[in-house]
Amino acid sequence: MPFAQLVIGSPGAGKSTYCNGMHQFMSAIGRKCSVVNLDPANDHTSYPVALDVRDLVTLEEIMEAEELGPNGGILYALEELEHNLDWLEAGLKELGDDYILFDCPGQVELFTHHSSLRHIFLKLEKLGYRLVVVQLTDSYVISQPSLYISALLVALRGMLQMDLPHINVLTKIDNLRNHPDLPFNLDFYTEVQALDYLLPYLEAEQGSRFGARVSAPSADKGDEEEVDLDNLRDEDDPRKPKSKFSALNSAICEMIENFGLLSFHTLAVEDKQSMLTLLRAIDRAGGYAFGGTEGVNETVWQVAMREGETMMEPRDVQERWLDRRDEFDEMEREAWKKEAEIEAGGPPPGPQSVRTERNDQPVASGAGGKSFEDMDLDEMEELTTIIASSRVKSRFTHLLRTMSTTSGSAEKGPAPWKSTFLSHLSKLDSPEFVLSTVEKAPEGSAVPYVPRARYCIFRGFWAELPENKHNNAPQNERVYESDLPTFSTDIRMHKVPEIFGSSAGHASNEEQWQGSGGGGPIEAVYWVKPTMTQWRIKGDAFVLGPDIEGDGEESSGVRTVKSEVGKRMRVVQPGKETGWSWAKEITAHFGNTSPGLRGSFRAPPPGRPVTEPYDDKNLKLGSKVEDLHDPIARKHFRVVVIRPQEVEQTDISDPEKARRYLYKYEQATAEWKMQELWP
């Protein structure tokens, strides 16, 4: 199925620049891409045009023949295109399965209330295209509150009019530092929440008659007049409107928030990391993250797009382009200098200089002009030193090693659902899920097993423990990666014997389930309300106990765990496997919990009647454990690793376009197969 971006936005937002940059970026990552120009007034494009609406009709011809002005001519041209969709369909067939970028006209009315563009898009959808609307807005608007609110209204109306997967983008974010200082951090403007905090600034902007500064104070603004915001605020509630003008602003802000649809991504079109983050979001919105049309020989950038770790958060953008821009710019200049030194015969230093051309085909290249396929690991790592800043470098090192080592592992690569799953969980305050197990039914029951369910907390994927600055435990290097979700539990809870008993019949053998083992069936269900998506993971679970290394590591349970879990672990740092410790990983999981949670493992036995005595009088509620090797807490602490066999994703964010995907793991090929189901 072909995929496409529909690039819309006000004049000057950077649509053509974006199409040019995205076309180059996709070519660099090995994705076939073509640009279609739908703007009849755009007679000078910086990108190669695969299909041009000006071959059908031009603005000049319409204005002369119909005696229309520029805006009327644009509307007429789009109506002509709507009536001649056979021409567009025939041209698109020539492009095959190329990823299409549609460069649309900039007249706002085309995507706010005029119907032609919408009808064209809906026709493309019926032809089988997976469409994403990318609406661009110049980031300058956030420097002036009234412009920002106006831009929100335009973006919201565009989303409602187009009725397609939609990504809003603040462009030219690298120029933002040249505009007036912002009263709030960047994430306030990208998340579009609590807009009532802007009301005093809107009032100040009106009261200043556009002659006074209403942005945040700054030491280097000279003698500019400042508006006293305190005089414009209600004494009891600073956000309460004091005038009819403020009441109107308040009503508009409330309406925007009540829709709950708006958020923004950011873009600096010449910055690779910024482009990568945006393309990753677009891929998720359009379904490309679930499998594109390219072959299996992916470039580094294609692998990077499937890695959630490459995402730039608003705080990263703020740091890069506002707070520490000079420092990061200097780092880039040093990177380009080093690149020029080691790339003999390569292009001159600059933002695009990690690419060369060979046999008329764009290929990613590195030291000595070699392609990635021809480079050894040392040469790959050398290239990472020149790609970007130190933070991006560390991410690329991981990706490059992953590419060079996973071919020899049982696993072929990250599961196709993994990055989207992580992205969704990141939107939750707490990544809770419902875990279902089965327990042997009491004697005399009509059924052999009964279900059990409880809430648990996702603790990351096995061997990929999330970073926690408060975790003082010694940790393994990132030698492995996996698609195996984890959670922690107390050995005294019913989950552990249920996981053992439903697998090998050891539930009644307390000595057996005090150690490692298990393999019983489980089902984990996550409900992600921000994305209106349900994730259902079916598989089996293994318990990791204190016998995982040392005296007990030759037990059958330990051998089972290391064999079954180990099959689904992928080496990302070859040669360092012997230094990786299962026991250290468990301790790191223990350290990743809070002292209060660690103290719960020193509480009285969960589920026991309070009237029944227990032996250890040191057990009590409300304990806090700082010692990562506390013998009592560690005796009760367990890490449970889930081995998924099926993963279902059901997206009901739009009831009329609900989607459901089933991923099945094939043991014979160690690959995931995706099938779309009716929701």
Residue 304 has pLDDT above 60, yes or no: no
The percentage of the chain sitting over the pLDDT mark of 70, rounded to a whole number, equals 78
Provide the pLDDT for residue 374: 52
DSSP string, 17-64: HHHHHHHHHHHHTT--EEEEE--TT----SS-EEEEGGGT--HHHHHH
Is residue 493 a part of any domain in this protein?
Answer: yes
For the stretch 1-14, pLDDT in tens is 689 999 999 988 99
Residue 515 has pLDDT above 60, yes or no: yes
Confidence of residue 179 (pLDDT cuts 50, 70, 90): confident
Provide the pLDDT for residue 211: 41
Task: Please check whether residue 354 is in contact with residue 371, taking contact to mean a CB–CB distance below 8 angstroms.
Answer: no
Is residue 55 a part of any domain in this protein?
Answer: yes
For the stretch 541-585, pLDDT in tens is 999 999 998 766 677 888 889 999 999 999 988 888 889 999 999
Number of Cβ atoms within 10 Å of the Cβ of 318? 19
Domain CATH number, residue 76: 3.40.50.300
Domain residue limits at 576: 417-677
Provide the pLDDT for residue 151: 95
Task: Report how many helices (DSSP H) and strands (DSSP E) the chain contains, helices first.
Answer: 23, 19
The better pLDDT of the pair 634, 655 is held by 634
Q: Which of 109-123, 511-525, 608-622 has the lowest mean pLDDT?
A: 608-622
For the stretch 652-671, pLDDT in tens is 988 888 999 999 999 888 89
Provide the pLDDT for residue 153: 95
Looking only at the bridges linking them, the beta strands covering 99-103 and 33-37 are parallel
End-to-end CA distance of the chain: 20
Is residue 535 a part of any domain in this protein?
Answer: yes
State how far the alpha carbon of 570 is from the alpha carbons of 241, 421, 478, 543, 670, in Å.
58, 19, 11, 20, 11
Residue 171 has pLDDT above 90, yes or no: yes
Provide the pLDDT for residue 451: 92
Residue 390 has pLDDT above 90, yes or no: no
Total number of domains in the chain: 2
Provide the pLDDT for residue 357: 36
- Considering the entire predicted model, what is its pTM? 0.50
Residue 83 has pLDDT above 50, yes or no: yes
For the stretch 126-146, pLDDT in tens is 888 999 999 999 999 998 999
Q: Which of 12-16, 75-79, 511-515, 530-534 has the lowest mean pLDDT?
A: 511-515
Report how far residue 168's alpha carbon sits from residue 158's, in angstroms, rounded to the nearest whole number.
10
Domain CATH number, residue 576: 2.30.110.10
Confidence of residue 33 (pLDDT cuts 50, 70, 90): very high
Is residue 525 a part of any domain in this protein?
Answer: yes
Interior CA angle at 21 toward 175 and 312, to 5°? 60
- Which residue type does 212 have? A
Is residue 112 a part of any domain in this protein?
Answer: yes
Number of Cβ atoms within 10 Å of the Cβ of 356? 17
For the stretch 180-233, pLDDT in tens is 788 888 889 999 988 988 888 888 887 654 444 444 544 444 444 444 544 544
Provide the pLDDT for residue 221: 43
Residue 349 has pLDDT above 70, yes or no: no
Confidence of residue 347 (pLDDT cuts 50, 70, 90): very low
Residue 70 has pLDDT above 60, yes or no: yes
DSSP string, 457-525: E---BTTBPPP-TT--S----S-EEES-BEEEEETTSTHHHHHHHHHHS-TT-HHHHTSSEEEEEEEEE
Confidence of residue 435 (pLDDT cuts 50, 70, 90): very high
Report how far residue 312's alpha carbon sits from residue 97's, in angstroms, rounded to the nearest whole number.
29
Is residue 660 a part of any domain in this protein?
Answer: yes
Q: Which of 113-122, 220-229, 279-288, 417-426 has the lowest mean pLDDT?
A: 220-229
Residue 303 has pLDDT above 70, yes or no: no
Which of 271, 286, 312 corresponds to the end of one domain? 271
Is residue 672 a part of any domain in this protein?
Answer: yes
Confidence of residue 152 (pLDDT cuts 50, 70, 90): very high
Q: Which of 63-77, 241-255, 626-640, 646-660 has the lowest mean pLDDT?
A: 241-255
Confidence of residue 619 (pLDDT cuts 50, 70, 90): confident
The percentage of the chain sitting over the pLDDT mark of 90, rounded to a whole number, equals 43
What is the rounded average pLDDT of the residues 395-415?
A: 47
What is the rounded average pLDDT of the residues 385-402?
A: 40
Residue 371 has pLDDT above 80, yes or no: no
Residue 298 has pLDDT above 70, yes or no: no
Is residue 13 a part of any domain in this protein?
Answer: yes
Task: Please check whether residue 387 is in contact with residue 366, taking contact to mean a CB–CB distance below 8 angstroms.
Answer: no
Number of Cβ atoms within 10 Å of the Cβ of 663? 21
Provide the pLDDT for residue 1: 67
Task: Please check whether residue 386 is in contact with residue 367, taking contact to mean a CB–CB distance below 8 angstroms.
Answer: no
What is the rounded average pLDDT of the residues 462-468?
A: 89
The better pLDDT of the pair 333, 435 is held by 435
Provide the pLDDT for residue 236: 53
Task: Please check whether residue 274 is in contact with residue 173, taking contact to mean a CB–CB distance below 8 angstroms.
Answer: yes
Provide the pLDDT for residue 169: 96
Residue 615 has pLDDT above 80, yes or no: no
Of 154, 205, 161, nearest to 183 by C-alpha is: 205
